[in-house]
Structure 1
Amino acid sequence: MSNVTIRPLRFTADVEGMRAFLETLGLRSRIESEHGGWVDMLTGRGMVALHDAASSSTGGQPGQTNLSFEADKIDELRDRLEQAGFVDATVFDEAYGRVLSVTGPDGVVIWVDERAEDMYGYKVHDARPDERWSVTPYLSGAEEQAWRRFFEGVGMDTPVRVGPSGSGFAVRLDLSTTEDLDEVNGRLDDYEVKRTASGLEIVDPDGQLVVVHG
């Protein structure tokens, strides 16, 4: 089975600011482009990628978060998705490597990058992720059962929270942790934070809400 990792993609006008914010929470940088427009960051379970919005070839806007993934063998993943009924799964080459594109539930186009072995043009860090942290995006305007079927086709447990359907589809960058939330909150003096019964609501450098669930 293909090893698939969820990796929300945040388009941002402030890559370094978002990187510093996520590192404060507990994420660790793994790979960054030498020109500084891309960083991907690890948790114990899942990843977050940061992309400079100004250099986006797809029109990504600052603060926009897309649902994406990384996988070891995207040809095997394409076959699995086709068997699950996602028949438009297509593999193609980009300048940075091989990519799978597929239309998921709610008409959302999902990209899955194949893990690259050639790191030319990138800086690789010795990332040691904090195992207490996980990436658990919140999908609003989503059809829950359809998304669960999609994740089964991908071959992974559903690592997302799903909000009410009926509104426009959107992805919020949520995280979960077993770290004490008071300790997390104590590191966030430079950010606007609201403590709730279930976690922390934080305004990130893009002005977007990020929720950390305890």
Structure 2
Amino acid sequence: MNVVIRPLRFTTDVDAMRGFLERLGLRSRIESERGGWVDMLAGHGMVALHDAATSSTGGRPGQTTLSFEADKLDEVKDRLEQVGFVDVTVFDEAYGRVLSVTAPDGVVIWVDERSDDLYGYKVHDVRPDERWSVTPALTGAEEPAWRRFLHGLGIELPLRFSSPDEPFAVGLELTTTEDLTEVHNRLTDLQVTRLDNTLQITDPDGQLVVVRG
């Protein structure tokens, strides 16, 4: 069983966010033929982009949520139930099977099952840049409970936890072994602050994206 982390960004400009992430080092894998959706690969992890204006779940422009992709949802369901998550539901959507579960802090998490039926989508044959990893930051999260949840998913992730007393939020963060000076040089037209081994970048949605060396 293979489960991959996939933060989902609701954006006002999918093309601009896609171009931004490609400049960082991610690669587009699947996009909707009608536009409004694209998922992007790093060497480890993914980022999905969704047009906020067409979101059926109330996603707000610039909001990032936490989601995952898996090979076999039934195995994920069994593992989550074994560690105490009892409201796990698997159902069919137009684009395939989806698992829903209430994670710690009352956060509803969606896990999409990887599908071979890609009608309505364009697939790009890409090789991800192994130097890049998707490593989201969780604010206002109960770390031990989230570690138990991730164990139930069957993954161990380098998530960063901060500010436990603040409201729950997901920050889009990446980690790279590429030289940060080279990364910075690709982004001279953007607002970028370098602090030691970290780049703080204002993305096309006006949100902060952190890249850690």
Considering the TM-score relative to the shorter chain, is it more than 0.5?
A: yes
- Determine the structure 2 residue equivalent to 1:155: 154
> Match of 2:68, SS?
strand
AA at the equivalent of 1:48? V
Please list, as runs of the form range in 1=range in 2, the aligned pairs for 1:119-130 lying within 5 A after superposition: 119-130=118-129
- Determine the structure 1 residue equivalent to 2:178: 179
- Determine the structure 2 residue equivalent to 1:208: 207
Please list, as runs of the form range in 1=range in 2, the aligned pairs for 1:98-117 lying within 5 A after superposition: 98-117=97-116
Question: For residues 84-132 of structure 1, what are the alpha-carbon distances to aligned partners after superposition, in whole Å with 9 as ceiling and x for unaligned?
Answer: 1011111001111100000001110000000011010000001111000
Larger mean Cα displacement after TM superposition, 133-142 or 153-162:
153-162
Separation of aligned partners in 1, 2:159 and 2:146: 9
Please list, as runs of the form range in 1=range in 2, the aligned pairs for 1:48-197 lying within 5 A after superposition: 48-197=47-196
Structure 1: 5+ residue runs without aligned partners?
none
Q: Report runs of 4+ in structure 1 exceeding 4 Å deviation.
A: none
Two-structure CA RMSD over aligned residues (Å): 0.6
TM, length-normalised to structure 1 = 0.98
Separation of aligned partners in 1, 2:86 and 2:56: 25
TM, length-normalised to structure 2 = 0.99
Q: In the alignment, is the contact (CA less than 8 A) between 2:180 and 2:197 conserved in 1?
A: no
Provide the identity percentage.
73
Superposed displacement of residue 164, structure 1: 2.3
Q: In the alignment, is the contact (CA less than 8 A) between 2:3 and 2:154 conserved in 1?
A: yes
AA at the equivalent of 1:145? P
AA at the equivalent of 1:111? W
- Determine the structure 1 residue equivalent to 2:33: 34
Separation of aligned partners in 1, 2:149 and 2:197: 27
Separation of aligned partners in 1, 2:102 and 2:109: 6
Question: For residues 56-78 of structure 1, what are the alpha-carbon distances to aligned partners after superposition, in whole Å with 9 as ceiling and x for unaligned?
Answer: 00010110000000000001100
Superposed displacement of residue 158, structure 1: 2.4
Separation of aligned partners in 2, 1:162 and 1:204: 21
Separation of aligned partners in 2, 1:158 and 1:166: 22
